[in-house]
Amino acid sequence: MKKNSLFLLLILIITSCGTKQEKINPTQEKITESVYASGIIKSKNQYQVFSTVNGLIQEIIAKEGDLIKKNDPILRIQNISSKLNAANAKLAADLASINLNGDKLNELKANIDFARIKLKTDSSLFERQKNLWEQQIGTQNELEQRELAYKNSLTNYKTSVLRYNDSKKQLDFSAQQAKNNLEISTSVEGDFIVKSETDGRLYDILKEKGEMLTPQSPVAVIGDANDFIIELQVDEYDITKIKLGQKIILSLDSYKGQSFEAVVTKISSIMNERTRSFLITAEFTIKPPSIFPNLSVEANIIIQSKDNALTIPRNFLVDDTYVLNEKNEKIKITIGLMDYKKAEVLSGLKITDFIVKPLK
């Protein structure tokens, strides 16, 4: 019987010790309120390169990591049909140019010159015959024949000029059309060489030689070689707290145990409906020695901070409104700033008061 009593007493002691609540005083210290965000590092002006045409990759010209200039070629796409079209367009343009300066116009010019000479001759003969007729020399029939010859020559001259101008316009149009077709073909041929749109570094080539390209598939990733930005996703519930210029404390998996600093430079004005978050852009003020695009980051965006604040651990709060005294009685307090570990107490507690941790 005594053994059983001792066993029960031991259990009561162990249970009593196991349920003993932790007791502390509030602490006076600095507290910082922040918003958590996660994201990635990107090269400034980073973008994906796309092809404007379909085709097989014939040659990859640049290498990953290369510093490149605007319009530098990255890769070449096979374009046999495009080359043939360009060659045909050049032949048509050359032919149109020959026709514009060729025998046809020279013949029409010669016709105009002949018609002009004949018109001048017939006009002179007509005037001479009129003068003779005024002196009662010659016949009415001769005068009418000279007038008819003059009018026919005038009509023939005008027709020759009109025929020349019409032919010249038609040949000009054909030549310009052929030139335009050649420019279009040459331009299309240029689309088969994918080029950089900016100066920067070629960070990634996403395709290999022999692969099929479409305008919907990215070819490469290019960005600034030295400047980087941070893109962070902030929850919709926290977005109203974010302001331009706020300080950010960053941690990177690549630099364990180290922290870096940045500032908010841009806040997206529209929410991503899929993730229910907003895109925040930041720039480094204290950055790692080496940075690479697409490194993951975790961030605390500093909303506000206070020195010498009266704080308690957040796990001592009950419903974010109360704490427990030594008698496990609820005491109403007013909360100010909070971080992920501590909460500021604005009223309801003094630094000498004891509070106990609520039991789970």
Q: Which residues of the chain have pLDDT under 50?
A: 1-3, 5, 7-16
The CATH architecture to which 36-45+225-304 belongs is: Beta Barrel (2.40)
Question: Which pTM does this prediction carry?
Answer: 0.57
> How many C-beta neighbours within 10 Å does residue 12 have?
10
Q: Is residue 26 a contact partner of residue 353, using CB atoms and an 8 Å limit? A: yes
pLDDT of amino acid 305: 86
pLDDT of amino acid 322: 93
User: Coil, strand or helix: which one is 216?
Assistant: coil
326-351 per-residue burial string, b: 16 or more CB within 10 A, e: under 16: eeeeeeebebbbbbeebbbbeeebee
168-217 tens-digit pLDDT: 787 777 777 767 766 666 655 567 888 999 999 999 999 999 888 888 98
327-352 tens-digit pLDDT: 888 999 999 888 778 899 999 999 99
Q: Is residue 198 a contact partner of residue 70, using CB atoms and an 8 Å limit? A: yes
pLDDT of amino acid 2: 46
pLDDT of amino acid 11: 47
pLDDT of amino acid 144: 83
CATH code of the region 47-77+192-221: 2.40.50.100
pLDDT of amino acid 173: 75
pLDDT of amino acid 15: 47
Q: Is residue 302 a contact partner of residue 249, using CB atoms and an 8 Å limit? A: yes
Domain boundaries, the chain: 36-45+225-304, 47-77+192-221, 83-190
Q: How far apart are the first and last CA of the chain?
A: 35
pLDDT of amino acid 109: 81
* Angle subtended by helix axes 103-134 and 140-190, to nearest 10: 160
